[in-house]
Amino acid sequence: MGLTVSALNAAIDRAAAAAREAEAELNAADARMGDGDTGVTVRRLFDALAGAKPEDRDLGDAFAALARTCSGATGSSLGTLVTVAMMTLAKPLKGKEELPWAELSDHLADVRDRMLARGGAELGDKTMVDMLDAIVTATRGIDDPARLGQVAMDAASETLAAFRDRPNRIGRARMFADRTVGQDDPGMLALHRLLTATVATEASDA
Amino acid sequence: MGLTVSALNAAIDRAAAAAREAEAELNAADARMGDGDTGVTVRRLFDALAGAKPEDRDLGDAFAALARTCSGATGSSLGTLVTVAMMTLAKPLKGKEELPWAELSDHLADVRDRMLARGGAELGDKTMVDMLDAIVTATRGIDDPARLGQVAMDAASETLAAFRDRPNRIGRARMFADRTVGQDDPGMLALHRLLTATVATEASDA
Amino acid sequence: MAKVMNTADAYVDELLDGLILTDPRLTRDGRAVTLAKGGRDGVAIVSGGGSGHFPLFVGYTAPGFIDGCAVGDVFAGPSVASCEATIRAADKGQGVLLLYGNYGGDRMNFDMAAEMVDLDGIRCETVLGTDDIASGSPEEAAKRRGVAGLVLLYKIAGAAADRGDDLDAVAATTRDAAAHTRSIGMATSACTIPGAAGPSFELGKGEMELGMGIHGEPGIWRDTLRSADDLADEMIQRLLADPVPAPTKRVALMLNSLGATPLEELLILYRRAAAKLKEQGIDVVLPAVGHFATSMEMGGLSMSMMYLDDAREALLRAPSDCRYWKV
Amino acid sequence: MAKVMNTADAYVDELLDGLILTDPRLTRDGRAVTLAKGGRDGVAIVSGGGSGHFPLFVGYTAPGFIDGCAVGDVFAGPSVASCEATIRAADKGQGVLLLYGNYGGDRMNFDMAAEMVDLDGIRCETVLGTDDIASGSPEEAAKRRGVAGLVLLYKIAGAAADRGDDLDAVAATTRDAAAHTRSIGMATSACTIPGAAGPSFELGKGEMELGMGIHGEPGIWRDTLRSADDLADEMIQRLLADPVPAPTKRVALMLNSLGATPLEELLILYRRAAAKLKEQGIDVVLPAVGHFATSMEMGGLSMSMMYLDDAREALLRAPSDCRYWKV
Ligand SMILES: Nc1ncnc2c1ncn2[C@@H]1O[C@H](COP(=O)(O)OP(=O)(O)O)[C@@H](O)[C@H]1O
Ligand SMILES: Nc1ncnc2c1ncn2[C@@H]1O[C@H](COP(=O)(O)OP(=O)(O)O)[C@@H](O)[C@H]1O
Ligand SMILES: [Mg+2]
Ligand SMILES: [Mg+2]
Ligand SMILES: [Mg+2]
Ligand SMILES: [Mg+2]
């Protein structure tokens, strides 16, 4: 068993619903340190993805299509990092209809590296990439989807808690880093909420 | 006994003090049907007049000087009508050091007519000119300054009450004349407040 | 909203100081501002009005527009003395067109000033901006107030004077243009006069009012949240329904922010307004979208329309050089 | 304050529809707007950024300024796809200068777009607006964000391209101008993103904040009611204290309303700012007072200063034809 396009599509639907639900919460989190739009960004992005779910069975083509949708649907940092993620996954999965769960972590490691290269952040800056990094480490080699989901969620929750009292170090937020102490990074919070919804999907699909 | 420049100067001081006190009330009255500035207009106007009190003993020259001050100090309708009043009084009083109280009404009748000609309002439109008209009529021939003051004040109060439930018929207020029913005209209210202060002056000077 | 100012009483004089510094062509004598350099030789155009509407009125003291402007306190008319000083400074011996909005105080003041300069042989003609259709019924059109449409009249009058028309001709052309100009405004939030404790009226959150005056005078209706398309439709319908002598199928359309409303929202409204006009076979040949006549930080906008014939279109397109006019 | 709009999701597309209608020189392909008529043949200048700052960014798509603009949602960057489409549409075979504000999302998107068009042989150079001194210390100058100073850079880049400079030269000239441009802003009231329940921050009545970002990002201090003179002094002092490579004694000074703050108040502030500069022996040769880069209905203003040498002054004075730029 592994990740297929149909599982991916189900996950996108769940994520889109979760994004709608979390919109206000994420906007509020971003308003405390950024421009207050993380919620609307994520909601619009996943609405667009849900409206253009790939029909192909080829995972690489599916991720390429999702990357195209993302690249036209949003211009926010978070949205563009999601585009980067889709593009990164598209190439190695070209021609494959299924990605074994045990290999997911390695692909996410590539995604993390591309995001850091593109966005210029470093690990520890308190961004969604820190959360992704924790997930990569925690899920390495796990091939049971239910456990993988649980471990990923635990890693996400722990990262959120671990970074809460650290200062943000990128973007405008770094100018008043002190005031970000005690606050969740909106990107991390978004990833956490989406992951929660997505993992539920995978679990029920598994 | 009659009106002299020194009595005039004392009256201006009293009026200026009254204008400062009534500023908020007059602004509020104007806000209900106009642009909300009658109070500040009247306050600035009388501040300017009080700061440029005529030194001349010639009443005509004194009114001419006041007219010049007015003409530079304000551009509001009310202020300009005061300028008109000063100009109207300047000509016939040229060379006189005292105006017998019994003749005041006739001069105010000229003022009223010039104001109507200049402003284009008609009697009954619910403006300060209606109040002036009532004062002219009520004070005709009275030569005791204390009685003259009392009669003028009574006429002013009665006019205010008589017009309160009638609609305004000039300027923007005429567009929603219904809504001006039950409201005092701000210019009338101003004249009433200033007169109250001025009459007190004359009474104590008399 | 905090005002960026020093004292309320210094507001107007200090802003005029700033204006003169940004434009070396202007000179100022108290509240009389004149175009000292780059102006025309013929008929002078003089305007005036209260402050708080910038760039109206004084901002249009520029080549191709007006030669001088008498400046009043915020939302108050210019004083008689400043009207007189402006007329004297602007006159080039060919007479002066007094072109301003139809407000009671302003009329009295300019009339008095005109009588005074007449004694010295300076001839004045008066044309009044009366474009605000919400301030009077068609039967009372002469009593209507002037709003943003006045800017279009400045351009007409200035171009007519620039081409050498004499005073009577400039006045006649401008008067005819005024008869073909209509405006309607709507407000979404109030403004505060410097020094006042608060705004002289309040609109609730999400409320708007159609036909409100530029000083906050009550309008035709107050309602919550209508869509831009709905507003555009009603404004266009009301403008077109108002009779003019000889309506044409070509218009200049000005969408003017009263202050806080962003130009983005004017563009959204413009899109629909132009489409509505097209439905009626009317072309917008001169679109103008910007801050032309404001009420400080008031939210809202006005829509002005001038029916054009070839002559008026040519005058509106004639060269000019005012930094607050670019269409 | 009520927004004049239809739906939040249609806000940007409808305003672009309106924009295209008011300017027949422009064409639009989704969120990519280009100058189809009247543009230059040489190096193309492309910009982009979020909506809600009009006339920044897309309003400067005009002769003498930028050739194309990628348009994002309100306060969000332009998508990668729109950046790519704009670059392709604007390119005339002489390469493209990507000139935009230093925001994380925008950089990522333009970088990705540049990599894509590079595959087809379109060469891009990037210059970032980093003028906001409140968004980073002098040591971190490269991380600073771009605000209204970007408009001055558009003018520099456009004029350099107009005189026929090649891509490397246009980029070098613009980069040098950016190194000589500094801005600081202050806000007096917030704005609301279309569709949001309310503003993402609140300033109390009579409160102001220095250094606040154009999306409402927190500033340097928040205080009640400072006088305009006091503000001008502090802004000028902070701008002058910020190091630039070779400061000159001549500057372009731009006072920009963030939206609701009336130009009257900018002029009051200008008066003092120019006097303060004069005390330091610095002349303002190019004053610009207006709405150049807004945050919808936000109250407040920004002050931008570009140190000029003869070359930069000539470029700023070169002919151009943008209806949102008149100095
Ligand atoms: N350069 C970057 N590298 C990694 N993550 C980033 C970067 N910039 C932003 N993010 C993430 O995106 C989140 C903000 O997303 P969002 O509000 O949608 O974008 P924007 O900052 O464009 O408004 C941040 O909380 C952070 O987690
Ligand atoms: N044309 C006029 N004729 C007579 N009185 C007038 C006229 N216009 C205004 N007024 C008087 O002036 C008052 C308004 O004064 P004010 O608010 O200071 O002037 P403005 O209308 O210029 O704001 C009105 O209430 C009315 O009494
Ligand atoms: Mg954000
Ligand atoms: Mg009034
Ligand atoms: Mg008034
Ligand atoms: Mg954003």
Q: Is the pLDDT of residue A204 over 70?
A: no
Q: Is the CB of A154 under 6 A from ligand 1?
A: no
CB contact (8 A) between residue C265 and residue D207: no
Give residue-wise pLDDT tens across range A120-170.
999 999 999 999 999 999 999 999 999 999 999 999 999 999 999 999 998
Q: Is B206 a residue whose pLDDT tops 60?
A: no
Sheet holding C32-35, edge to edge: C26-29, C32-35, C68-74, C44-51, C96-101, C124-129
Judging contacts by C-beta atoms under 8 Å, the chain A residues touching residue D107 are 120
- The answer, yes or no, to whether D and A have at least 3 beta-carbon pairs within 8 Å is yes
Instruction: Tell me the shortest Cα–Cα distance from D93 to chain A, in angstroms.
Output: 25
* CA distances in angstroms from C212 to A176, B169, C134, D172, listed in the order given: 43, 18, 8, 52
Does A122 reach chain D within 8 Å, measured CB to CB?
Answer: no
- DSSP letters, D156-189, are HHHHHHHTT--HHHHHHHHHHHHHTEEEEEEEEE
Alpha carbon of A50 to ligand 1 centroid (Å): 22
pLDDT(D110) > 60: yes
Report d(CA B4, CA B97) in Å as an integer: 6
Residues of C in contact with B77 (CB under 8 A): 77, 104-105, 108
Give residue-wise pLDDT tens across range D276-315: 999 999 999 999 999 999 999 999 999 999 999 999 999 9
pLDDT at B126 over 90: yes
Chain B nearest C-alpha distance from C124 (Å): 17
* Contact assignment for B118 to C135 by CB distance below 8 Å: no
Going by pLDDT thresholds of 50, 70 and 90, the confidence category of residue B204 is low
Task: Catalogue the E-assigned strands of chain D.
Answer: 26-29, 32-35, 44-51, 68-74, 96-101, 124-129, 181-189, 207-210, 221-224, 250-257, 283-290, 299-307
Catalytic residues of C: 53, 215
Q: Is B186 on the interface with C (CB under 8 A)?
A: no
Report CA(C169)–ligand 4 centroid distance (Å): 35
For CA atoms D185, D191, D194, D197, give the dihedral sign.
positive
For chain D, which chains pass the contact test of at least 3 CB pairs under 8 Å? A, C
Minimum-distance ligand 2 atom for the alpha carbon of B26: 17
Atom of ligand 2 nearest to the CA of B42: 18
Q: How far apart are the first and last CA of chain B?
A: 8
C136-194, pLDDT tens digit by residue?
Answer: 999 999 999 999 999 999 999 999 999 999 999 999 999 999 999 999 999 999 999 89
Q: Tell me the CA–centroid distance for residue C85 and ligand 4, in Å.
A: 24
Contact D294, D56 (CB under 8 A): yes
Cβ contacts of D299 on chain C, cutoff 8 Å:
1-2, 260, 297
Its pTM stands at 0.92
Rounded CA-CA distance C211/C194 in Å is 24
Which two tokens mark C286? Answer: 């001169």
Which of C149-158, C222-231, D139-148, D212-221 has the weakest average pLDDT? D212-221
CA distances for C224 relative to C187, C192, C206, C219, angstroms = 12, 22, 6, 14
Residue D66: beta bridge partners? Answer: D61
Q: How many A from CA of C265 to the centre of ligand 4? A: 31
Q: What percent of chain B has pLDDT over 70?
A: 96
Tell whether C2 lies on the interface with D, counting CB pairs under 8 A.
Answer: yes
For residues A110 and D119, what is the distance between their CA atoms, to the nearest angstrom? 23
C113 pLDDT above the threshold of 70: yes
**pLDDT at D19 exceeding the cut of 90:** yes
Per-residue confidence band for D202, with pLDDT thresholds at 50, 70 and 90: confident
Work out the average pLDDT over D254-281.
Answer: 98
**What letter does residue A57 receive in the DSSP assignment?**
S
